[in-house]
Amino acid sequence: MQDRAASAVVLELRDVAKSFGSVVALRSGSLTVERGSIHAVVGENGAGKSTLVKIVAGVHRRDEGVFRFLGEDVDFATTAASKAAGIAVIYQEPTLFPDLSVAENIFMGRQPRGRGRRIDYGRMYDESDRLFARLGVHIDPRRPARGLSIADQQVIEIAKAISLDATLLIMDEPTAALSGVEVERLFAIARSLRDEGRGLVFISHRFDEVFALCDHITVMRDGSYVSTDRTTDTDVDAIVSRMVGREVAELFPKTPAEVGDVVLEVDGLTSAGVFHDVSFEVRAGEIVGLAGLVGAGRSEIARAVFGVDRYDDGAVRLLGRKVPAHNPRAAIRAGMAFVPEDRRRQGLVIEESVARNVGSVIRRGLARAGVLTSAAENRAAGPWAGRLEVKTSALDMRASTMSGGNQQKVVIAKWLATEPRLLIIDEPTRGIDIGTKAEVHRLLSELAGQGMAILMISSELPEVLGMADRVLVVCEGRITAELDRAAATPERVMRAATRTSAHATAAAADEQKSEVTA
């Protein structure tokens, strides 16, 4: 115990590698976190940050490399083992038990116990209240976790991690869904934990946050360690160029296209608790980007437009004709195509062949007297897959064996076969390697050039700014800004994206106060 307590280094990873089958997720990850410091890990999607986190958390086991915690070699086989050792992790995506109460979600497995080893519910609720007060939010600990907004779910994850009283706290993009006030609170807590001598790891895409909070910054690229610096010794430009390893401008080759007539018209779309009074239009040849925080309601708006989800009020028109609500088939017939965020689960029949996937939405058109032949499917799929340069040796190959980039192209090919007028695409390059990313961007740009209207949702700000002719910013289910290409700067988009009610009221109150004192 003496040695453990004396160790100045909380976490040490050296040349850690992890592969899943033939896919290398982490080539050589290195990270050294000292006591009493906050260490940022940055890198593009797919750089291996999350894999690194999951190895430390005991979700995955490393294939090779050194993994030391508090100076001792460790190898966590389960999440329980890493938790017991004193590691708390806030995962990128909240993992809650929807049927259980908020308090139980925080304290599951270590509920406060009273006499006779019975759970002391009263104390559990009180402690939850205290945690939320510390975080400056109000969530009823007795309510079920079901139906909470992403931001509130993230707050619960944070409360859970803090209550663990861990030596090492890892936060994997904890702020993606949080408003300004909540982020400030989190940072205050992170600093106080640092001052108590704990180690913290902070993963984020927002550089202002990284530089405001962290002492050290480690850059990763393509599954490998690149560099570690003190934040005071470096700047955003240096970090970004190390992250991408090339000029940013090369990535997003949107070419200007002639903007034509209105294709999609959305008018006053409302769904209680999800989004409100959403109105916008998309013209032919135009790429419109929907930007905003995770959980702001962008995907939900897209799903409602396409008819996957219900909406309470408002109308959707395509080429001037009303599209019936909650009816994806009618939306497809009207000329819409939808590439969902989670393509493995929603966009592809993973165990089916490429040809069958491409043909799946136009089956009816392909079928002869109700019989669908593989030959007909292959005939229909061939030209599309060829055009998109899908790298599968044969159309018979299973979609599950392809890379993320190629899968995405298959999904797009599938929809192009319906010859849509409007393409809605949610996170077009999530989890796609950089080379293929540019190809997907080139493809979208080309499609717009041919007169297709494209509505693109993306959480990657550079992608939105590089690709979109017009940017709509969504915040808490409302469109808070509409910026054309020239006006869309990262600062403007982020300001509109975090313009929360709590934030706004606080700012308004401050203004009033200053007026009074003046």
Partner 1 sequence: MSDTLLVEPSAQPAAARVLGTLLRSREIAIGAVLVLLVVLTTLKSSGFVFSSDGWRNLLVSPALLLILAVGQAVVIITRNVDLSVGSTLGLTAYLTGKVFIASPGMPVVAVFVIGLAFGGLLGLVNGLLVAYGRVPAMVITLGTLYIYRGVFLSWAGSDRVNADDFPQGFNDLGTASVLSVPVVMLIALAVMAVVGYYLRTARGGRELYATGSDPDAATLYGLPVIRRVLVAFVLSGALAGVAGVVYAARYGTVSSGAGSGLELQAVGAAVIGGVAIAGGVGTVWGAALGAVLLITINRALPMVGISDFWQRAVVGALIIAAIVLDRVLAARQERQLVAARDLARREPDRRKAGTPA
Between CA 158 and CA 161 the distance in angstroms is: 5
Nearer CB in complex with partner 1: 272/375 = 272
What's the burial of 300, exposed, middle or buried (CB within 10 Å: 0-12/13-18/19+)?
A: buried
Nearer CB in complex with partner 1: 67/132 = 132
Q: What minimum distance in Å lies between the beta carbon of 9 and partner 1?
A: 24
Contact between 92 and 178 under an 8 Å Cβ cutoff? The reply is no
Which of 177, 179, 160, 162 lies closest to 100 in space, CA to CA? 160
Contact between 291 and 338 under an 8 Å Cβ cutoff? The reply is no
Contact between 321 and 367 under an 8 Å Cβ cutoff? The reply is no
Nearer CB in complex with partner 1: 436/500 = 500
Nearer CB in complex with partner 1: 97/321 = 97
Q: What minimum distance in Å lies between the beta carbon of 298 and partner 1?
A: 16
Q: What minimum distance in Å lies between the beta carbon of 158 and partner 1?
A: 14
- DSSP states of 86-131 as a string? TEEEE-SS----TTSBHHHHHHTTS--B-GGG-B-HHHHHHHHHHH
Nearer CB in complex with partner 1: 151/332 = 151
Between CA 24 and CA 34 the distance in angstroms is: 28
Mapping DSSP to helix (H, G, I), strand (E, B) and coil, where does residue 133 land? Answer: helix
Nearer CB in complex with partner 1: 133/236 = 133
Nearer CB in complex with partner 1: 147/256 = 147
Parallel, antiparallel, or unpaired: how do β-strands 313-318 and 262-271 relate? antiparallel
Cα dist from 97 to 6, 175, 234, whole Å: 38, 21, 41
Q: What minimum distance in Å lies between the beta carbon of 182 and partner 1?
A: 10
Which residues of this chain interact with partner 1, rule CB under 8 A?
A: 57-59, 78-84, 91, 95-100, 104, 108-111, 113, 117-119, 125, 129, 132-134, 136-138, 140-144, 146-149, 181, 272-274, 276, 476, 500-502, 505-506
Q: What minimum distance in Å lies between the beta carbon of 189 and partner 1?
A: 12
Q: What minimum distance in Å lies between the beta carbon of 498 and partner 1?
A: 14
Phi–psi pair at 435, nearest 5 degrees: -60, -50
Between CA 113 and CA 496 the distance in angstroms is: 45
Nearer CB in complex with partner 1: 20/97 = 97
Q: What minimum distance in Å lies between the beta carbon of 475 and partner 1?
A: 11
**What are the residue ranges of helices labelled H in 256-326?**
298-306
Nearer CB in complex with partner 1: 28/149 = 149
Q: What minimum distance in Å lies between the beta carbon of 492 and partner 1?
A: 23
Q: Which two tokens stand for residue 410?
A: 């298959």
Which residue's entry shows tokens 């135009």?
Answer: 286
Q: What minimum distance in Å lies between the beta carbon of 119 and partner 1?
A: 5
